[in-house]
Chains A and B, each alone.
Chain A
Amino acid sequence: MFISTHFVDANLVRETAIRVHEESGNSLIVLVGGELRETCQDIVASLQTTEIPFFGGVFPEILLGGEIRADKCLVLPLDIIGVPQVLHAPFSFDKVGRLPDHGAMVESSGRPDVSALVFVSGLTLDISEFTRNLYRKYGVKIRYAGAGTGTFELDPDVPSVFCSEGLFSNAAMVVFIDAELGLAARHGWSRCAGPFVATRTENRTVHEINWRPAWEVYGEAILDLTGEVLTLENFRQHAGRYPIGLSKDGGEDLVREPFIVDGTSIVFSAEVLSQSPFYILEAKLEALRHAATEASELARIDEPCFGLVFECLSRAGYLGKPELLDDLIRIEQASGTAERGVPYVGLIALGEIASNKRGLLEFMNQTVVVANIGQASP
């Protein structure tokens, strides 16, 4: 399969898309850097004139071959089953339930093992409802890999999901792929305080922790951990270093990052269920490095064509750019394909999605997801 392993400028996306399509015969996945948010509509319009099936998303930054770019694009070939399915929020089951049935996809692809790439506007309020209903529809019958799209500006209304139908905001896109998918997700954060209970919540907003205002309790914990008083000014800095972990039996805690302060409430990066026990987490650099390596090892498949690595925005912020590039190198090395030159593309994401036919599909944060895309059906 021909893979273009170079960043391209926005004005060259169409030309590159035609070339990649001619050489591979595949549909295309187009990844757009966050600084191109204003020109994304033009990119999509130019691709629409080619009649080549395509889909993609806008991500704050893209990593490839030792470079991190927010002002460039990547065009990759990918065989898909049917057409990309676009859903607009709110994501009720009435809507999600109308996606193609698993049996129909198996029949049309001849592949018993169907997987899906899932891109969703990363700041849409309804993401948990979306993942819940997507799992309600397919359960463990398919593998899911994907991420929240968007830009550093964290504007929920920026259109960041697109396909041949157009460019959309507050939307989710499910693309069933006709290729093997090796998948794993890890974060490496560990518990440093707790347990606490989120005693009053409303979707992403935690009003009370331990029956007291959330801001007070989180602030006390930060004071205990760092010796610093939590203020609105230093909130972002501490929030990135001390997210919370919703405890989960038999696996890593589910990470939620404090996102913004609303009075005495704290809005998190994704839904926190009412009465959830949780811990405050901290990162140890070595553990984060190990998480990436472990995810890469677990995601191994025999003959990957390329790898997508979804790195959470806040994890990327914590690691910093040099360490982030090293993370990608570690993943490449642990994949067992380094000598074959399989390209790995890193995407800074606003939340991650992964489920490997073993359990519930949930929206994650502070996590690295490694998705190895294999050969299409013969």
Chain B
Amino acid sequence: MTATAAIVSPLGRAPERVPRHRRGVRDFFVRLPVRAVIAVLLVIEVYPMVWMLLGSFKTQDEFLNAPFWALPRSFSLDNYVSVFTTGGFGQYVLNSVLAVLPSLVLILLLGVAAGFALEVMVWKGRGTVLLLFLAGIMVPTQMILLPLFTIYFRIGLTGTLWPLILTYVATGLPLTVFMMATFFRAVPREIFEASTLDGASMLRSFWSIGMPLVRNALFTVGLVQFFFLWNDLLIALTFTNSSSLRTIQVGLLNFTGQYGAVQYGPTFAAIAVNVVGTLLIYLFLNQQVMKGLTAGSVKG
């Protein structure tokens, strides 16, 4: 309660009554607590990343005997080398890429087509089908894991990355269809009617007019889905039954236990490798990512 009062109090100040020459000084002191709050927040958010990066260069001895704020004695890449050699991270990264990229392409392609069919095309029952897709956003993934495990086992897909790809596509579709339908809602129908008057078939209008119109939206949705899939643990944990199929998240989860005693340096390097991909994307595309993730927050 006091925090609320402290934060909103400057709203009430009336700067007009303060003589001009004193306003700068006053403003500085009024703004000081805000600046302090912001500074503390930024340190809290950023420090763990700095600590991780520095830790990835430290030796086991430095972790056990030097204080946590000490800088690494050398910037040797030994920890990173062991992540990829003894840790087998190369395979994990490859598995993640092989599972996520095809899923992403399929989700976007199928999702944008379905969104178009559900929003632009006119037919009986499209409201019901849209609701059916929406229900998929609500239902927890736990609900489908056991039957899928049985299905994949019976049709012999266990031991490949196919269970991951298929499940990723199906679980990614509801949100994508929903978002694409929302974007198509803003496009005037006349555009498609005009293009068909010019002799284009409906499929052609979709491909050469509908798709380019929602290109930016498609990119944003793609980013959101990429984060969901790349960071997924539940589905990957369920369907990767051998270590050669592990994705980067499952690999990292099993990483610490591998040597008996915790190997701090390599663990920190593994965390850094795991984090760097999404962090780099955020560094360059943060505005789109923020827009997309908040728009896709229905997923929870």
A-B interaction: no
Binding site for A on B (CB under 8 A): none
Binding site for B on A (CB under 8 A): none
